[in-house]
């Protein structure tokens, strides 16, 4: 038996796991709207190789394309987040905790409707098995619920007077400002959301750049983000980090930088 024969053909893959169409994504989320990018796109390929339908040639699966945004577009996302925060006076940072929680709960409900699609893209883009991909999605949903419960408890505790270092008073946590959140490729959903969700729910506004690998799986969630949060609260950008992230950090307007990964690549 040859090594090539180990690789399946597209027709051999069960229908519920098959990748049937290339996803050409041009949309990114800016100031509460899905904006169509007219520029260059970046191909997204799978680590999976399949045998050709008509020969034993191995072909790497092309999953789709995502926008290669430029520095100017990244700065527009920054302006949107800065405006929404408004030095802590914006609607989101001044919103009652329970209202912000309702927005996150709305997002969670919409996210769960995309479970099958996100899991399928995790499998194809990262090379996870179905059980591992399903576990990552479900664990992420559990994390969001746990974060909501923790904030509810924190809000209850903040209503009580306490004695701290000899002083009697109340202690409340407040948002910091504009956050830039970036995640890793090995757990591009779960570990990314462990920084993104707390930043949002605490009242910060966010610029979110998906991981280089694990980027396409955010596409099914764009509508959920848009529908769940006020304009400017969450902005999702794509592209090369050296062209988008650098200008954001150089602006001096990023108050929080949440990054899991490496400086290489």
SS3 labels along the chain:
CCCHHHCCEHHHCCHHHCCCCCEECCEEEECCEEEECCCCEEEEEEEEEEECCCCCCEEEEEEEEEECCCHHHHHHHHHHHHHHHHHHCCCCCCCCHHHHHHHHHHHHHHHHCCHHHHHHHHHHHHCCCHHHHHHHHHHHHHHHHHHHHHHHHHHHHHCCCEEECCEEECCCCCCCCEEEEECCCCCCCHHHHHHHHHHHHCCCEEEEECCCCCCHHHHHHHHHHHHHCCCCCEEECCCCHHHHHHHHHHCCCCCEEEECCCCCC
The predicted pLDDT at position 264 comes to: 63
d(CA 201, CA 105): 10
**pTM across the whole model:** 0.91
The predicted pLDDT at position 55 comes to: 81
CA quadruple 160, 164, 166, 170: dihedral sign: negative
Residue 16 lies in a domain: no
Q: List, for residues 67-103, the tens digit of each pLDDT value.
A: 999 999 999 999 999 999 999 999 999 999 999 999 9
The predicted pLDDT at position 265 comes to: 53
The predicted pLDDT at position 16 comes to: 86
The predicted pLDDT at position 185 comes to: 82
The predicted pLDDT at position 190 comes to: 94
Residue 196 lies in a domain: yes
The predicted pLDDT at position 101 comes to: 98
Domain holding 211, by residue range, is 27-38+68-259
What's the CATH number where 140 sits? 3.40.605.10
Residue 179 lies in a domain: yes
d(CA 41, CA 65): 6
The predicted pLDDT at position 227 comes to: 98
Domains in the chain, number: 1
Residues of the chain with pLDDT under 50: none
Residue 44 lies in a domain: no
The predicted pLDDT at position 263 comes to: 64
Residue 10 lies in a domain: no
Strand 178-182 to 256-259 pairing: parallel
Residue 6 lies in a domain: no
């Amino acid at each position: 038996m040859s090594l090539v024969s180990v690789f399946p053909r597209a027709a051999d893959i069960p229908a519920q796991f098959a990748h049937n169409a290339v996803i050409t994504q041009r949309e990114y989320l800016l100031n509460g709207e899905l904006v169509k990018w007219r520029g260059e796109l970046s191909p997204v390929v799978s680590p999976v190789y399949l045998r050709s339908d008509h020969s034993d040639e191995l072909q790497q699966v092309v999953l789709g394309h995502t926008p290669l945004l430029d520095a100017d577009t990244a700065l527009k996302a920054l302006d949107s987040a800065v405006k929404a925060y408004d030095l802590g006076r914006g609607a989101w940072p001044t919103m009652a905790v329970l209202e912000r929680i309702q927005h996150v709960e709305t997002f969670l409900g919409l996210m769960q409707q995309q479970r099958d699609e996100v899991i399928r893209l995790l499998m194809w883009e990262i090379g996870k098995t179905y059980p591992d991909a399903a576990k990552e999605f479900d664990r992420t949903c559990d994390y969001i619920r746990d974060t909501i419960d923790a904030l509810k408890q924190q809000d209850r505790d903040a209503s009580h007077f306490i004695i701290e270092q000899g002083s009697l008073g109340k202690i409340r946590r407040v948002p910091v400002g504009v956050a830039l959140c970036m995640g890793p490729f090995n757990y591009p959903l779960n570990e990314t959301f462990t920084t993104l969700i707390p930043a949002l729910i605490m009242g910060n506004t966010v610029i979110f750049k998906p991981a280089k690998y694990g980027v396409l799986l955010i596409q099914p969630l764009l509508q959920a983000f848009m529908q769940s949060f006020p304009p400017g609260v969450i902005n999702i950008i794509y592209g090369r980090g050296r062209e988008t992230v650098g200008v954001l950090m150089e602006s001096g307007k990023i108050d929080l930088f949440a990054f899991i990964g490496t400086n290489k690549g």
